[in-house]
Each structure stands twice: as structure tokens, then as C-alpha cells.
Amino acid sequence: MRVALCQLNARSDRDANLKTATELLERAHEGGADLALLPEYADHLGPGAAADDRWPAAMAEVAARLGMWVLAGSYHEAGPDPEHTYNTSLLLDRSGGVAAVYRKIHLYDVDIPGRVSYQESASVSPGAEVVTASVDGVPVGLSICYDLRFPELYRRLAVEGGARVICVPAAFMAHTGRDHWEVLLRARAIENQCYVLAASQIGDHDPGRTCYGRSMVVDPWGTVVAQAPDAVGVVFADLDFERLDKIRAELPSLANRRL
């Protein structure tokens, strides 16, 4: 399976975001990707984000036109009330059909004095369902950004869902990303002996927010096999499931677990 991570700098101009996302997905297709990922909030990253009813149809059209699996990052889905949206990932198959929907479970409610204060729950409702889906016969688990700090979710994806690949569309903040992004991604890959695919936002966003970027693919041994430079663009990797099986057979930590 060839995968592509699309790293972009979404802002509050939804038309411009869609144009850039489409161009990156087209580059992913030209590079032979079977599955391409966009980052968290690829539709809009900025103040005053309302539900986006155009994003699902637009992404479905691209997936169908390219004949490629697309994890359409996440977008602002209409929520349970007018004050809240869902932070929602769509997995689209090669015909543009919706293969899976995942709503972010863990919301980023953080107050670091002098650095960042953000309450995602003020405008976003949490999801409740742990989601895996089959991509060309490969079980793929879904997560979003801040979920990365909660290993119990990833263990459920690997054990209950049988995931061999776990996706992490993200808009990871630069001040934490420098120290935590790669460490957490590698830990989740090692713990669950899965490939971890992390597509991130990069650069400055309104208002006063900077995302770390460094989109990467981590193999089940915890090795970073592909990483994006600090720019908008696409990075590719080929997943080796024979290697995954070998790692799980030689170091059977999933099979040896007792809790």
C-alpha cells in the first residue's frame, strides 16, 4: 500500500483551502498513492468556523475522480446544537463513497499560562465511537490530533478493531510539537505494532496560532520512514505488511498482554 500525507496551511478562506487540498490530493494520485491523508481542519482553521456543508461532497468528488482512498482530514460537521460542531474525519473509498466517519473523542481543553489557552469544548462536541474501517482489505483505525495523548484509544483500535494502520490528521501546536509530536507518534506505533500515518497542518494560522507540521509515517518498530519538510506539500511512503507481521511474530507484545 502506497500512502501520501498532504501537509497544508489552512486558514479562514474555505475556497482557498479546498483548492490547495485538491491540488495536494492530485499530486498524491500522480505519485501513485492508494490512500492519501489531509490534516485536521483542512476545511477551515481560524476564527468563527461554522459547520461546512460543502466539504464532504467536494472531497467525495475528488476521491471518485482520482479513484483513490482519501482520508479527508477533519472538517467542521454540524453538531448537536447551534453552538457546537463536531470535529469529524471522513474516510472516502475509490468511488467517493463514505467508508467511515470518526468524530474526535478527546477535545483540546488546555491552559498553559503565557503560552496557550484554548477550550475546544466551547465550540465542539465530542464523539463517542471508536472507528476502524477496511481500506483495500487492510484494517485502518481513525483518530484526530489530541487523541494522540490517550494511548487507551489506540490500544482499542489495534486490539478490538484489529488495526494495522492508524491515521492521525492533526493541527499540532508548535510549542508542544517540538517536544512531543514525534515521541507520541513513535510510542503509539511501537505500543500497538502498527503503521501510524500523521498528516499535519504547517505554519501560522489566524489568530496567533502556529502549527508544527512535520507530517510523518512511522513503522511498527517506531522508525520514522517518511517525514515532510517544513512546507506545504506531499510526502510518500510504501507500507510493508510483511515487516509488520514479522515484528508482531518476533516481539509478540500484543499477544502477550494480560490486561
Q: What does the domain layout of the chain look like in residue ranges? A: 2-256
In the beta sheet, which residues pair with residue 36? 4, 70
Q: In residues, how long is the chain?
A: 259
Catalytic one of 104, 167, 194, 211:
104
Q: Dump the DSSP string for 97-109.
A: -EEEEEE--S--E
- 104 belongs to the catalytic site: yes
pLDDT digits (tens, 9 = 90+) for 64-84: 999 999 999 999 999 999 999
> In the prediction, which pLDDT does 125 show?
96
What is the reported pTM? 0.96
Catalytic one of 40, 167, 182, 211:
40
Return the number of other C-beta atoms located less than 10 Å from residue 231's C-beta: 10
- Structure letter (DSSP) for residue 122: G
**Residue 38 dihedral angles phi and psi, to the nearest 5°:** -105, 165
- 19 belongs to the catalytic site: no
Q: Which grid coordinates belong to 174?
A: 508548535
pLDDT digits (tens, 9 = 90+) for 114-151: 666 778 998 999 999 999 999 999 999 999 999 999 99
Q: Write down the architecture of domain 2-256 according to CATH.
A: 4-Layer Sandwich (3.60)
